[in-house]
Amino acid sequence: MAQRQPLMAGNWKMNLDHIEATGLVQKLAWSLADLRHDPARCETAVLVPFTDLRTVQLLIEGERYPIRWGAQDVSVHQVGAYTGEVSAPMLAKLNCAYVVVGHSERREYHGETDQLVNAKAKQALGHGIQPIICVGEKLAVRQSGDQVAFVLGQVDGVLAGLQPDEAANVILAYEPVWAIGTGQVATPADAQEVCGAIRSRVAELFSAQLAQSLRILYGGSAKASNIVDLMAQPDVDGALVGGASLQAEEFARMVAFQTLA
Ligand code: PEP
């Protein structure tokens, strides 16, 4: 079976200016060093506001911290009269490894559809940036028991038209909307049910081999106290972490989850 390197990706959302960002990245690097974290065992990434990107890039590259970085959104356009937007080529110039697309907050507050998320993912892939594509059901869907069908519909939409070599560079994040920022984490079994179904659907859409190498993250109130059980699930390859990623020591402990068990 393909070896998938776990990934803990911190989504800072609209928190921390570029000066505060310096402090958090330094503390995170020191905390990882204190824990003697081996980056080969779990990758660390920070997904920061646009205004922090250049500072975070220069700091991490300068200090050679074992941390990667990325943005939280990208335009579907490459260049031109699109006031307020930031393009994939601009993010690529800042050596972004990742960009989040289709986060539930963007779907909710900016009306983003699966079609738009798909176009954003294609932009990122076209410029060498791995999109972390978010999917996940709202509470009403979970309560009706339709979460798997709903999420697989989103997966079909966000991956539509991708070539296998593009799909191989995608990361999918299953983020049940009712668990984001609420403190109400999905049970490990809930996370596994949907992440496993996503992997099976990717196998149908592309190939079993591609599906086995694709990283699928869980997101929604993940923290150091619940990460070990989540990571014990066979189809959970890491986490997209909001609130807990703003606390350096807590986030570092999540990255080093193998030592918590
Ligand atoms: C998120 O923003 O993607 C997220 C999962 O947030 P939290 O960890 O705070 O629930």
**What is the CB neighbour count within 10 angstroms for residue 212?**
14
Query: Cα 122–124–125 angle (5° rounding)?
Result: 65
CA dihedral (159, 132, 177, 206) positive or negative: positive
What percent of the chain is predicted at pLDDT more than 70? 99
Indicate if the pLDDT at residue 27 is higher than 90: yes
The domain segmentation of the chain, as residue ranges, is 7-259
Indicate if the pLDDT at residue 3 is higher than 90: no
Both tokens assigned to 212: 């086995």
Both tokens assigned to 196: 């496993």
pLDDT per residue as tens digits for the range 123-156: 999 999 999 999 999 999 999 999 999 999 999 9
Q: How confident is the model at residue 105 (pLDDT cuts 50, 70, 90)?
A: very high
pLDDT per residue as tens digits for the range 233-257: 999 999 999 999 999 999 999 999 9
Give me the residue label for tokens 């599906």: 211
Q: Is 10 in the pocket of ligand 1 (CB under 6 A)?
A: no
CA proximity to 100, closest of 76, 81, 74 = 74
CATH number of 7-259: 3.20.20.70
pLDDT per residue as tens digits for the range 38-67: 999 999 999 999 999 999 999 999 999 999
Nearest CA to ligand 1 atom 4: 242
pTM equals 0.97
Beta-strand relationship, 98-101 and 43-47: unpaired
Q: Is 220 in the pocket of ligand 1 (CB under 6 A)?
A: yes
Residues belonging to the active site: 103, 175
Separation of alpha carbons 204 and 183, rounded Å: 34
Indicate if the pLDDT at residue 101 is higher than 60: yes
Ligand 1 atom having least distance to the Cα of 173: 3
- Give the ranges where the chain is alpha helix by DSSP (H): 18-34, 53-63, 88-93, 104-110, 114-126, 139-144, 147-158, 164-167, 188-205, 208-213, 224-231, 248-255
Q: How confident is the model at residue 183 (pLDDT cuts 50, 70, 90)?
A: confident
What percent of the chain is predicted at pLDDT more than 90? 95
Q: Are 3 and 40 in contact (CB under 8 A)?
A: no
Indicate if the pLDDT at residue 185 is higher than 90: no
Predicted local confidence at residue 260, as pLDDT: 85
Q: Is 176 in the pocket of ligand 1 (CB under 6 A)?
A: no
Indicate if the pLDDT at residue 2 is higher than 70: no
Separation of alpha carbons 175 and 64, rounded Å: 31
Indicate if the pLDDT at residue 1 is higher than 70: no
Strand, coil or helix: 128: coil
Ligand 1 atom having least distance to the Cα of 183: 10
CA of 176 to the centre of ligand 1 (A): 10
pLDDT per residue as tens digits for the range 186-210: 899 999 999 999 999 999 999 999 9
- Listed as own residue / partner, the contacts of 200-205 with beta carbons closer than 8 Å and 24 or more positions apart are 201/152, 201/155, 201/156, 202/155, 202/159, 202/167, 202/172, 205/155, 205/156, 205/159, 205/167
| Mean pLDDT calculated for residue range 58-78 | 98
